[in-house]
């Protein structure tokens, strides 16, 4: 997508402009009618530019499921564009999901914060609450677009979008799921302040079972 087209979109749609990137909610495309720069056809063309061989499930979701999930209000996907050349550098998907958290895993300070927005099962020592889920987070590896944004910038873009939702609707807990790999755990825990609270088994599209670590952060 050309720089001029992105400038047109800035003028037409609601967006979140950060230091080096601009974030668009794909609802802006889906709700537009009679606009050559917006609309579902234009959106699908943009999504076709995304490539992620490091995680095919991330690419598959964006191209095959993100639009339908957004239409059905199951989640909402946001596209992230470089301000330098208007290239698609990544995306993230947000949703609201219930989670159950074992209180023993956290400090007393974090327990008090979580208790404000949850129900405590005293018998099991668990909190049940609704939280903002970062369901997908992926960089675009097509033509080196991934080099125009860091993982931390992409994650921060997602968190900033959640903060806007928090301002309007409340809530204070973010969670996500990641493969149990040392590099990923270092990124989320050591560099960005997330805390492990559970592990679950999941099936990939190839029916292979793998473990996902669930991590949360209190805003």
- Global pTM? 0.89
Say what the pLDDT of residue 1 is.
44
Here the CATH number for the domain that contains residue 214 is 3.40.630.30
Worst-scoring range by mean pLDDT, 102-111, 126-135, 166-175, 205-214? 205-214
Q: Are 23 and 105 in contact (CB under 8 A)?
A: no
Q: Are 38 and 32 in contact (CB under 8 A)?
A: yes
CA 145 – CA 190 distance, rounded (Å): 26
User: What are the φ and ψ backbone dihedral angles of 218, each rounded to 5 degrees?
Assistant: -100, 125
Q: Are 99 and 216 in contact (CB under 8 A)?
A: yes
The residue segments making up the domain with residue 173 are 3-218
**pLDDT tens digits, one per residue of 108-153:** 888 888 888 999 888 888 999 999 999 999 999 999 999 999 999 9
Helix (H) or strand (E) holding 62: helix 56-64
CA 27 – CA 46 distance, rounded (Å): 14
Give the SS3 label for residue 39: coil
β-partners of residue 96 are 132
Worst-scoring range by mean pLDDT, 34-43, 51-60, 155-164? 34-43
User: How many structural domains are present in the chain?
Assistant: 1
Helix (H) or strand (E) holding 139: strand 126-139
**pLDDT tens digits, one per residue of 183-195:** 999 999 999 999 9
The owner of tokens 């669930």 is 214
CA 102 – CA 160 distance, rounded (Å): 27
Q: Are 218 and 173 in contact (CB under 8 A)?
A: yes
Task: Find, among 149, 133, 136, 139, the residue nearest to 194 by Cα.
Answer: 133
CA 165 – CA 177 distance, rounded (Å): 20
Give the SS3 label for residue 48: coil
């Amino acid at each position: 997508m050309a720089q001029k087209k992105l400038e047109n979109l800035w003028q037409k749609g609601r967006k979140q402009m950060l230091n080096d990137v601009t974030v668009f909610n794909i609802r802006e495309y889906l709700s537009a009618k009679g606009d050559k720069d917006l609309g579902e056809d234009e959106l699908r063309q943009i999504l076709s530019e995304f490539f992620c061989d490091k995680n095919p499930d991330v690419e598959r979701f964006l191209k095959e499921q993100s639009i339908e999930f957004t239409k059905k209000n199951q989640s909402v996907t946001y596209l992230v564009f470089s301000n330098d050349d208007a290239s698609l550098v990544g995306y993230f998907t947000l949703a609201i999901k219930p989670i159950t958290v074992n209180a023993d895993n956290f400090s007393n300070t974090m327990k008090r914060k979580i208790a404000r927005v949850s129900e405590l099962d005293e018998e099991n020592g668990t909190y049940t609450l609704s939280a903002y889920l970062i369901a997908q987070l992926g960089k675009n590896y097509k033509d080196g677009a991934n080099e125009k944004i860091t993982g931390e910038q992409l994650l921060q873009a997602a968190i900033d979008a959640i903060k806007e939702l928090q301002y309007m609707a409340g809530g204070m807990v973010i969670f996500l799921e990641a493969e149990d790999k040392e590099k990923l755990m270092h990124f989320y825990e050591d560099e960005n302040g997330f805390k492990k609270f559970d592990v679950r088994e999941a099936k990939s599209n190839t029916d292979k079972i793998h473990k996902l670590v669930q991590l949360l952060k209190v805003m």
